[in-house]
Amino acid sequence: MKFSDLLRPTPAGLYCPPGDFYIDPVSPVDRAVITHGHGDHARSGHGAVLATRETLAIMAVRYGADFAAATETAAYGTTLTRGEVKVMLYPAGHILGSAQCALSWKGMTIVVSGDYKRRRDPTCTLFEPVPCDVFVSEATFGLPVFRHPPDAGEIQKLLKSLKQFPERSHLVGAYALGKAQRVICLLREAGYDETIYVHGALMNLNALYESFGVALGSLAPATTDTKDKFEGRIVIAPPAAIADKWSRRFADPLPAFASGWMRVRARARQRHVELPLILSDHGDWDELTNTFEELKPREVWLTHGNEEALLRWSALNGIEAKALSLVGYEDEEA
């Protein structure tokens, strides 16, 4: 038996022949397991979708209730059977409802981790390491330059700037699903209890997070029908909105961006960011390599991102690794 008999890359995504289903397929398929709700992993138009309750709810908010012909909910840690394969979902720590998918068949186990991080996140369950023969990992921040600093320090940067520049609206670009809610939660943990203003695109997702018990505190839409120019306020919006006409309603906006890419100065400068906040929902170099060391799988497969340095690291550390170079997974807003 080869590992590739249990799981193999195809143009539509990772396919499991003995279970006859795909994981995070990029084009419509009959049966799919979806690891988490980000648009590049969770697409509409599949036949049957298996995912956590949270992920299914996110897909319904994004695509409408009829995003798939049929759905099935899997809780973390319960075993389901697909053909000859046992399927279990485990927390991935990436965003609300994100899951790793473990496949067991004929004595071998492959874990497809989806996107993941190892640090604590108040909006989702902590990543759970699962012993396996093959660990399928993302490589978004697979370069040693990416070591995300502690979240609390980044939030303090924002709060300090707010004190230093009380006349400016602090516009925080944050991916609408996951990052935005995490930034809000981290601000609340830091003791910031003022109203936080949000772009319209975030409203539904914020409500969804709250319905799953993630408390976000006082939020209000950043609308133009008031005289308020949002001086000294925190406004959270999708990154694209900050560079757009939308941002004109604010008093001397101070553009911030919450992303792991902000670790590299040229990236921040390209986007005209004045306050880069290094907050990522993807594991950094240490999280990725520590996970490989902790799990000691027989093979590591890298799906998408910066694979080259991780392949080199694996070679130096005696771990067999290969790049699957899957296409269709974007990481620009990570």
| Interface characters, 117-146, with another protein (x: CB under 8 A) | --------------------------xxxx
Decide whether 134 or 234 has the Cβ nearer to another protein: 234
Partners of 135 in the β-ladder: 111, 300
Decide whether 27 or 270 has the Cβ nearer to another protein: 270
Partners of 72 in the β-ladder: 50
Query: Token pair of 70, please?
Result: 């049929």
Strands 99-105, 108-112: pairing kind: antiparallel
Residue in the structure block whose two tokens are 């209000």: 220
Q: Which of 52, 123, 247, 303 binds another protein (CB under 8 A)?
A: 247
Q: Looking at 112-120, 200-208, 252-260, 326-334, which segment touches another protein (CB under 8 A)?
A: 252-260
Partners of 276 in the β-ladder: 257
152-171 residues in contact with another protein (CB under 8 A) are 157, 161, 164-165
Among candidate residues 101, 248, 122, the one with its CA nearest the CA of residue 178: 122
Give me the least distance between CB of 316 and another protein, in Å please. Answer: 6
Q: Looking at 18-26, 89-97, 188-196, 237-245, which segment touches another protein (CB under 8 A)?
A: 237-245
Decide whether 21 or 257 has the Cβ nearer to another protein: 257
Q: Is 23 helix (H, G, I), strand (E, B) or coil?
A: strand
Q: Is 228 helix (H, G, I), strand (E, B) or coil?
A: coil
293-312 residues in contact with another protein (CB under 8 A) are 306, 308-309, 312
Q: What angle do CA 234, 236, 240 make, to 5 degrees?
A: 135
Q: Looking at 40-48, 50-58, 239-247, 290-298, which segment touches another protein (CB under 8 A)?
A: 239-247
Query: Token pair of 132, please?
Result: 């396996």
Cα distance between residue 172 and residue 278, in whole Å: 12
Query: Token pair of 15, please?
Result: 């396919």
Q: Which of 116, 246, 292, 301 binds another protein (CB under 8 A)?
A: 246
Q: Which of 91, 253, 260, 305 binds another protein (CB under 8 A)?
A: 253
Judged by CB under 8 A, does residue 224 bind another protein?
no
Cα distance between residue 13 and residue 148, in whole Å: 29
Judged by CB under 8 A, does residue 243 bind another protein?
yes
